[in-house]
């Protein structure tokens, strides 16, 4: 009997376990009475309830802009904007596609109203060291006044200085200085000439300088021929006299530069005194307007001193006179006294700045120093210092997208340096990377008092926080925006106001009552939950814009439900080429998917593909083959490196389920192979683990599985079916195939019971379910699913520790015991070696 039993047990592994078996209709009729029942139509879709609201179109509704349903994030933003301690900057994170900047700005504007208006900042010339421009802080709104005041001062000086130097008084005093010099020079030469004449010597002025020569009777120089005719003694006497007079002439000539220096000093003193008198009233007048700003008073005094010292640059020089030379990078002399308004807050009623920088390069963020070409050389000065976004936002709020910030070289590090030092230093990227050796400026740093608000998706924030500890130092306040909100009458009403705000913001047509209800139902569909509503308003805004286009095309002044339905259908159609090709391959039997009959070890699993924001469900055939072995469940996808770690984990859980439920007193002696048929790409996720388990149990029990049912759901080691994502798309993907082949009334999908709350199915699926042509079965355990798929009770252990006879679990356990006996009879090493044979 033992040998016959072994032979019988072994024979069941020989035929293909995918043999055709009785039709699925028979299995469905044989399903135990306690098997899960199809969900009623009202559980497949939750209709919006707007009965508490009285409106015809959204034009009758008060718009609710800003962050709807984001109480936690709002509290974080309110805290972050009001605390004034260093490092408490904001990092706002949320789901991909949520443009939170627009929603956060109203909150920031409210917080800005409570902040003190920031100061104005200007750069002026540093007369002591022009390479280090001076930064001056002014009360808000006064930078323009200072700039205009300096322009007026320069205009006045341009007129006053030349006029005073052309005045009769100045010319008289200047003439007196020149005459005194000329008189002193004349007297010295006259005395020397008299002394030379007394000795019959004449002084000659030649191109080479002064010369001495003997004089004739008429006072003219003796001709050279006559001088050579003189006796030797006479010539020596004359030469001795000339040598003595040359020393006197040299003494006089050496005094000339000193006398000239004295003349220039007197002229310079006269110029200083004249300039001091000319500019004094203008400088004093400018100082009176800014008596409350000490740094401006000091700068005006520096201007006074520089003007007095270099007044020769600004007046017309006399013919042949050389004025003082001043090394300057300015095209016009008076430019050195202008004012570069770096940040001006406008009028005295201007608000605290809220600056969003969309392109945060280093120069756009921290400012830059520009250059101009003069005579073939690049030069710069304080007038070419340009403000960055952080300058404009200083004292207020700076809004940055973290992805854009991180993709710009040096910007992230520079921002952290500025926040740590609490000052703004303009950094030249060209000098960092060695692109230029031009001498640049080193402007005074400006104190930093800004609240930085970074925006990004969650994954980027968590990665950045994990790899850069500075994030925790500088961005201590996290505002995490929720993806969705609980669906209640209050939240539905809030979404109606949000839809009204979207329509008005984008200048769209109002939406009627039915169209608004469909948009709210679509918000639940986007949230993947019938009892929640998405808070990603941009998705609804895009759909609303498309519905507005459809309404305009139809000549309607109001967006109707039909327009929204058309927009949804058109959006799907534009993105559904790959879905349609996948369904076409199934209908043409290129991809093998059965929707009728029953097969052993074969089940229809469901997966979701997502491309560029469009998701669609796709059925996949999963098959299983079993034989005696060493207790190994082989995942073929993992073996060929097509299965991801989560998928592999789901398969390993199957081994734990089998080992923990069946043949507890017998070694696990199974070798099973599982595969996604016709899968040529990567497989990830555990949502097909329950389907794989059904295929495994079917192969072990040699009982067929219904092919008119598709399965989704993960499973744990206790046999509980767990929730998965994309339930709506998976159901609709299998429904589309069944519908195109023809609905039989027995087709349907098994989903985890926990996923019932997520259902927001298409209208055609709901209609088919209502008509009894399609069904959605919620299952909580593998046993419930087995009873539906096989049409036989799963079975429970009785008091004797055995499952009920002919139950699915009993057949599985008996098969595993038979495998153990086969393994024992043939020897474990031989079985293990054969597991890896093709």
Distance (Å, whole) CA 552 – CA 558: 9
Residues 444, 469 contacting (CB under 8 angstroms)? no
Q: Which helix (H) or strand (E) holds 92?
A: strand 90-94
The single residue of 509, 730, 773, 807 carrying the catalytic annotation is: 730
CA 364 from centroid of its chain's CA atoms? 14
Is residue 607 within 8 A of residue 688, CB to CB? The reply is yes
* Positive/negative CA dihedral, 573, 578, 580, 581: positive
CB 666 within 8 A of CB 653: no
Rounded distance between C-alpha atoms, residue 268 and residue 92, angstroms? 65
Q: What angle do CA 553, 554, 557 make, to 5 degrees?
A: 95
Task: For residue 687, give the nearest of 618, 588, 585 by alpha carbon.
Answer: 618
The position carrying tokens 């008996």 is 814
Number of CB atoms found within 10 A of residue 708's CB: 26
For the chain, helix (H) and strand (E) counts, in that order, are 29, 29
201 DSSP β-pair partners: 214
The continuous run of DSSP H or E covering 186 comes out as helix 168-198
Residue 644 DSSP one-character state: -
Q: What is the largest CA-CA distance in the chain?
A: 171
306: phi then psi, degrees, rounded to nearest 5: -70, -40
User: How far is C-alpha 461 from the geometric centre of its chain's CA atoms?
Assistant: 11
Catalytic residue among 687, 689, 698, 714: 687
Asked about 669 being catalytic, the answer comes back as: no
Count of alpha carbons within 13 angstroms of residue 303, beta-carbon side = 27
Helices (H), 12-142: 24-29, 71-82, 100-112
In whole angstroms, what is the distance from residue 213 CA to residue 134 CA?
A: 64
Active site residue 269: no
| Residue 794 to residues 161, 717, 789, Cα–Cα distance (Å) | 109, 17, 11
SS3 content of the chain, % helix, strand, coil (to 5): 50, 15, 35
Enzyme catalytic residues: 687, 730
């Amino acid at each position: 009997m033992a040998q016959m039993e072994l032979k019988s047990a072994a024979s069941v592994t020989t035929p293909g376990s995918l043999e055709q078996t009785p039709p699925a209709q028979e299995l469905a009729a044989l399903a135990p009475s306690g098997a899960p029942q199809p969900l009623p139509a009202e559980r497949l879709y939750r209709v919006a309830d707007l009965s508490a609201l009285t409106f015809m179109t959204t034009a009758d509704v008060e718009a609710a802009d800003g962050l709807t349903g984001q109480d936690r994030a709002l509290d974080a933003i309110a805290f972050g904007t009001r605390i004034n301690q260093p490092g408490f900057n904001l990092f706002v994170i949320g789901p991909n596609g949520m443009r939170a900047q627009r929603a956060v700005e109203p909150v920031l504007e409210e917080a800005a109203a409570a902040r003190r208006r920031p100061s104005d900042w200007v750069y002026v010339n540093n007369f002591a060291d022009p390479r280090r421009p001076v930064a001056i802080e002014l009360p808000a709104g006064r930078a323009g006044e200072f700039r205009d005041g300096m322009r007026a001062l320069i205009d006045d000086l341009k007129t006053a200085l030349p006029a005073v130097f052309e005045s009769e008084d100045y010319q008289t005093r200047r003439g007196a200085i020149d005459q005194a010099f000329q008189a002193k020079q004349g007297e010295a030469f006259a005395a020397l000439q008299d002394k030379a004449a007394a000795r019959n010597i004449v002084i000659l002025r030649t191109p080479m300088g002064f010369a001495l020569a003997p004089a004739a009777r008429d006072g003219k120089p003796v001709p050279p021929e006559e001088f050579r005719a003189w006796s030797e003694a006479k010539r020596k006497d004359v030469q001795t006299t000339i040598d003595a007079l040359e020393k006197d002439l040299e003494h006089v000539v050496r005094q000339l530069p000193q006398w000239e220096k004295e003349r220039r000093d007197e002229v310079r003193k006269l110029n200083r005194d004249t300039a001091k008198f000319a500019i004094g009233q203008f400088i004093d007048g400018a100082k009176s307007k800014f008596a409350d700003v000490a740094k401006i008073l000091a700068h005006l005094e520096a201007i006074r001193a520089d003007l007095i010292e270099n007044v020769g640059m600004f007046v017309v020089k006399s013919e042949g006179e050389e004025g003082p030379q001043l090394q300057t990078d300015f095209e016009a002399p008076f430019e050195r006294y202008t004012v570069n308004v770096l940040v001006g807050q406008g009028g005295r009623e201007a608000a605290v700045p809220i600056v969003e920088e969309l392109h945060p390069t280093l120069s756009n963020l921290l400012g830059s120093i520009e250059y101009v070409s003069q005579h073939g050389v690049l030069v710069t000065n304080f007038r070419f210092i340009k403000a960055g976004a952080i300058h404009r936002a200083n004292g207020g709020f700076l809004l940055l997208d973290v992805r854009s910030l991180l993709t710009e070289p040096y910007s992230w590090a520079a921002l952290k340096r500025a926040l740590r030092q609490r000052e703004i230093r303009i950094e030249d990227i060209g000098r960092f990377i060695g692109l230029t050796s031009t001498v640049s400026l080193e402007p005074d740093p400006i104190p930093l008092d800004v609240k930085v608000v970074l925006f990004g998706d969650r994954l980027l924030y968590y990665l950045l926080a994990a790899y850069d500890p500075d994030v925790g130092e500088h961005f201590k306040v996290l505002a995490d925006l929720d993806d969705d909100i609980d669906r209640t009458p209050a939240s539905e009403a809030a979404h109606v106001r949000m839809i009204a705000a979207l329509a008005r913001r984008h200048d769209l047509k109002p939406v009627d009552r039915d169209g608004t209800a469909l948009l709210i139902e679509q918000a639940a569909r986007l949230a993947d939950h019938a009892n929640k509503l998405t808070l990603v308003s941009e998705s609804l805004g895009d759909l609303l814009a498309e519905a507005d286009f459809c309404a305009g095309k139809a000549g309607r002044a109001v967006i109707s439900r039909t327009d929204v339905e058309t927009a949804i259908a058109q959006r799907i159609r534009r993105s559904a080429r790959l879905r349609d090709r996948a369904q076409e391959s199934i209908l043409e039997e290129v991809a093998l998917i059965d929707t009728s009959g029953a097969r052993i070890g074969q089940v229809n699993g469901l997966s979701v593909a997502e491309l560029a924001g469009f998701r669609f469900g796709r059925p996949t055939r999963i098959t299983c083959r079993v034989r005696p072995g060493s207790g190994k469940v082989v995942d073929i996808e993992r073996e060929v490196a097509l299965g991801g770690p989560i998928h592999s984990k789901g398969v390993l859980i199957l081994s734990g389920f089998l080992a923990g439920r069946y043949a507890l007193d017998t070694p696990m002696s199974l070798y099973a192979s599982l595969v996604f048929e016709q899968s040529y790409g990567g497989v990830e996720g555990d949502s097909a683990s329950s389907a794989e388990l059904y295929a495994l149990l079917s192969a072990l029990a040699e009982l067929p599985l219904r092919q008119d049912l598709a399965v989704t759901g993960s499973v744990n080691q206790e046999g509980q079916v767990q929730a998965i994502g994309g339930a709506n798309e998976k159901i609709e993907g299998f429904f589309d195939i069944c519908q195109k082949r023809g609905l039989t009334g027995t087709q349907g999908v098994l989903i985890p019971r926990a996923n019932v709350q997520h259902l927001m199915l298409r209208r055609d699926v709901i209609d088919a379910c209502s008509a009894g042509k399609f069904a959605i079965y919620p299952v909580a355990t593998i046993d419930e699913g087995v009873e539906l798929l096989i049409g036989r009770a799963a079975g429970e252990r009785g008091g004797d520790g055995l499952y009920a006879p002919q139950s699915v679990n009993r057949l599985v356990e008996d098969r595993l015991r038979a495998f153990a006996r086969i393994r024992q009879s043939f020897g474990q090493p031989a079985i293990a070696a054969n597991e890896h044979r093709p």
